[in-house]
């Protein structure tokens, strides 16, 4: 959600700047009126403790000035408050939008915080080619075509794509691959594609298959199935038995798709079903995506909450942050009411451009959907709590084994990947009490031009220098959870010595780091652990802490290899067209599809370049000049 225009008003500093707590809050009341707005509570180091919205700022802040009636969490927050800031807005809805934006930006300690907020994948039926491609799409919807989603995960999209390929035989190859085919690929042989690339299907028949697939994705499967049955009967009567058999196979595949989709609600066409379960100071929010009367998967979230926070506050904060960068559906079906349903409805309706309805059903099909989502949320949180207890034991064991001051809350593991120095990538993975924190993984494209190919020490120096220089710049006081408590490095004494020099150069002398190296015979299970200024140590082969360290190292290795392969694949697919300003992915595809190769584009004359779709006269001239200036 974008921030509406707001009137910024920095409050006056109280006369007694040493005040904190209730007295400090009381001193601000004379500067406030009952305008809607957003307030921030800050500690003595000016770190934001809490961001809140108010329909009437003076009335809301006055509540904090009262020393009685607060939960332990709020009472502790008030005691730590050393200053406040205020922003007034024109409307209450603007205050809600601004509050959620500031929470995501500042991540205050006392707010409910959604930790994982990635975009969701969609299915895209591309419209840039005479034979449209069906594929997975994530991110901004800039490519021309029809989008269907969101789906809960890449796995849900891939399953749906596989099912759609079985039924409708649409291609999923790139335009460049399509243009280069001279005979059908394996997908045609196993009846997953109709091979339009080699003319095995006419443009009209392929277009009909695309239209059927889109109707299915829009939820019109019953009428589609009836039409296919009618077409099969007509083909049989006309003794077109091969066509009738193909239609029969399509009907069977369509029936199979419908049977494996799970519960498909009849009375809910397009909605998100959102259920919250809280237990032991933790929370799980389960989101089910219902589109076109079909269940397109579910995903669980674990927002950061306190032990004495109420479900309405958690759910409202979740909705505001969850839909900050996503369009909401016309209906939100919730397990609990939220505190400011009218403001949230107005904000989400503005974002979608049409009415959004927030429901808390008590009976009927919608209530059954909530019951199922609640059951999933309860079971997911139970699994997470059990895994968290096991993870906490492993972290405590890691601290004992490595003589740390206490169990680390954030472990960063580093690795490099390259082939003889080419396409070198550094990787960092993060683990903590909640397991692997994949949203905080980072990859580092090695930039150093003076590195000897294969110089692992030099690569590690670059990665760690970039990582910790940024940390020092962004959080010099180590006030956030971004600073690690332990570093694990894939390597032995040489790597540890190099890391020690890097940390000394950065002025960091209190961060423990361990080099993990395989033993003399490089047998897994005989890892040696190197620490600066201490003798090499090892752990018993059957020690759970050893297995835990191996898992951490293997995850870093997996992530580094994946990043390296992606970089290598990108380099393989690179063409001279990438160097031309104004030639993005879509125009590059159009040029390659028209001419067949980048070499042919370089040889093309100006008139031929101008006829390519999406290439205007000015860009055609730029492309022509780019290649002819070189030669």
Which domains, and CATH codes, for the chain? 6-106 (3.40.1440.10), 122-260 (no CATH), 270-382 (3.30.420), 411-559 (3.30.420.340), 576-630 (1.10.150.20)
- Characterise 383 by phi-psi region: left (phi > 0), alpha (psi -120 to 50), beta (else): alpha
Residue 405 backbone phi and psi in degrees, to 5: -70, -30
Contact at 8 Å (CB) between 267 and 219? no
Residue 151 backbone phi and psi in degrees, to 5: -100, 155
Model confidence over 363-384: pLDDT tens digits? 999 999 999 999 999 998 988 8
Q: Is the pLDDT of residue 48 over 60?
A: yes
Determine the pLDDT at residue 208.
Answer: 87
Q: Strand 294-301 relative to strand 282-291: parallel, antiparallel, unpaired?
A: antiparallel
Cα dist from 134 to 175, 466, 570, whole Å: 11, 40, 21
Q: Is the pLDDT of residue 593 over 80?
A: no
Residue 52 backbone phi and psi in degrees, to 5: -135, 160
- The DSSP string of 143-207 is SSEEEE---SSHHHHHHHHHHHHHHH----S-HHHHHH-SS--HHHHTTS---GGGTSS-HHHHH
- pLDDT over 70 for what percent of the chain? 87
Q: Give the pLDDT band of residue 209 (cuts 50, 70, 90).
A: confident
Span 168-180, mean pLDDT? 86
Cα dist from 293 to 165, 218, 220, 345, whole Å: 21, 8, 9, 22
Q: Is the pLDDT of residue 535 over 60?
A: yes
Q: Give the pLDDT band of residue 18 (cuts 50, 70, 90).
A: low
Strand partners, 291: 270, 294
Query: Two tokens at 46?
Result: 């000016």
Q: Strand 357-359 relative to strand 331-334: parallel, antiparallel, unpaired?
A: parallel
Model confidence over 124-161: pLDDT tens digits? 998 888 899 888 888 888 888 999 888 888 888 888 88
What integer best gives the mean pLDDT of the chain? 83
Determine the pLDDT at residue 262.
Answer: 46
Cβ contacts of 367 within 8 Å, gap of 6 or more: 361
Query: Two tokens at 369?
Result: 């959907």
Q: Is the pLDDT of residue 120 over 90?
A: no
What is the distance between the alpha carbons of residues 496 and 492, in angstroms, rounded to a whole number?
A: 6
Cβ contacts of 618 within 8 Å, gap of 6 or more: none
- The DSSP string of 443-508 is EEE---SSPPTT-HHHHHHHHHHHHHHHHHHH-TT--STTS-SEEEEES-HHHHHHHHHHHHHHT-
Residues 515-543 as b/e (b if ≥16 CB within 10 A, e otherwise) read bbbeeeeeeeeebbbbbbeeeeeebeeee
Model confidence over 478-503: pLDDT tens digits? 777 788 999 998 888 888 888 898 88
Cα dist from 48 to 27, 181, 460, 588, whole Å: 19, 59, 34, 46
What is the distance between the alpha carbons of residues 252 and 234, in angstroms, rounded to a whole number?
A: 17
């Amino acid at each position: 959600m974008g921030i509406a225009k707001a009137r910024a008003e920095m409050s006056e500093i109280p006369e007694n700047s040493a005040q904190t707590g209730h007295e400090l809050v009381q001193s601000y009341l004379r500067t406030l009126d009952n305008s809607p707005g957003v307030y921030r509570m800050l500690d003595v180091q000016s770190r934001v403790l809490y961001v809140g919205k108010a329909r009437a700022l003076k009335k809301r802040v006055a509540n904090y000035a009262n020393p009685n009636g607060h939960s332990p969490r709020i009472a502790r927050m008030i005691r730590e408050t050393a200053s406040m800031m205020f922003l007034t807005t024109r409307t209450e809805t603007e205050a809600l939008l601004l509050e959620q934006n500031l929470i995501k930006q500042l991540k205050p300690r006392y707010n409910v915080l959604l930790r994982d907020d990635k975009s969701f994948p969609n299915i895209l039926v591309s419209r840039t080619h005479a034979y449209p491609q069906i594929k997975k799409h994530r991110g901004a919807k800039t490519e021309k075509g029809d989008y269907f989603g969101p789906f809960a995960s890449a796995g849900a999209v891939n399953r749906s794509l596989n099912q759609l390929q079985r039924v409708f035989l649409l291609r999923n190859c790139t335009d460049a691959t399509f243009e280069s085919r001279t005979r059908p690929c394996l997908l045609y042989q196993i009846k997953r594609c109709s091979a339009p690339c080699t003319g095995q299907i006419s443009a009209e028949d392929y277009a009909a298959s695309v239209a059927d697939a889109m109707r299915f994705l829009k939820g019109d499967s019953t009428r589609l199935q009836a039409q296919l049955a009618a077409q099969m009967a007509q083909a049989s009567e006309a003794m077109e038995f091969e066509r009738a058999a193909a239609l029969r196979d399509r009907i069977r595949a369509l029936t199979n798709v419908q049977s494996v989709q799970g519960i498909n609600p009849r009375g809910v066409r397009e909605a998100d079903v959102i259920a919250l379960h809280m237990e032991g100071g933790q929370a799980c929010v389960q989101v089910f995506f219902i589109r076109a009367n079909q269940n397109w998967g579910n995903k669980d979230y674990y927002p950061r909450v306190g032990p004495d926070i109420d479900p309405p506050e958690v759910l409202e904060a979740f909705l505001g942050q969850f839909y900050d960068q996503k369009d909401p559906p016309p209906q939100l079906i919730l397990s609990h009411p939220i505190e400011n349903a009218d403001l949230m409805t107005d904000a989400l309706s503005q974002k979608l451009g049409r009415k959004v309805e927030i429901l808390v059903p008590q009976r009927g099909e919608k209530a059954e959907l909530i019951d199922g989502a609640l059951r999933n949320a309860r079971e997911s949180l139970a699994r997470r709590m059990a895994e968290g207890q096991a993870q906490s034991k492993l972290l405590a064991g890691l601290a004992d084994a490595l003589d740390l001051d206490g169990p680390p809350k954030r472990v960063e593991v580093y690795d490099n990947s390259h082939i003889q120095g080419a396409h070198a990538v550094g990787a960092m993975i993060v683990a903590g009490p909640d397991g692997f924190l994949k949203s905080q993984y980072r990859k580092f494209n090695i930039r150093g031009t003076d590195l000897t190919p294969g110089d692992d020490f030099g690569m590690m120096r670059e990665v760690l220098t970039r990582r910790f220089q940024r940390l020092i710049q962004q959080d010099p006081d180590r006030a956030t959870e971004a600073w690690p408590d332990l570093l694990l490095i894939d390597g032995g004494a040489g790597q540890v010595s190099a890391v020690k020099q890097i940390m000394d150069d950065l002025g960091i002398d209190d961060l423990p780091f361990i080099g993990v190296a395989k033993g003399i015979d490089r047998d897994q299970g005989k890892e040696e652990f190197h620490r600066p200024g201490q003798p090499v140590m090892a752990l018993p082969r059957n020690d759970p802490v050893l297995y835990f360290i191996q898992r951490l190292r293997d995850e870093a290795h997996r992530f580094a290899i994946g990043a390296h392969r992606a970089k290598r694949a990108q380099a393989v697919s690179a063409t001279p067209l990438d160097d031309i300003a104004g030639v993005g992915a879509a125009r590059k595809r159009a040029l390659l599809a028209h001419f067949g190769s980048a070499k042919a584009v370089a040889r093309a004359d100006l008139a031929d370049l101008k006829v390519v779709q999406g290439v205007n006269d000015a860009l055609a001239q730029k492309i022509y000049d780019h290649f002819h200036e070189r030669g």
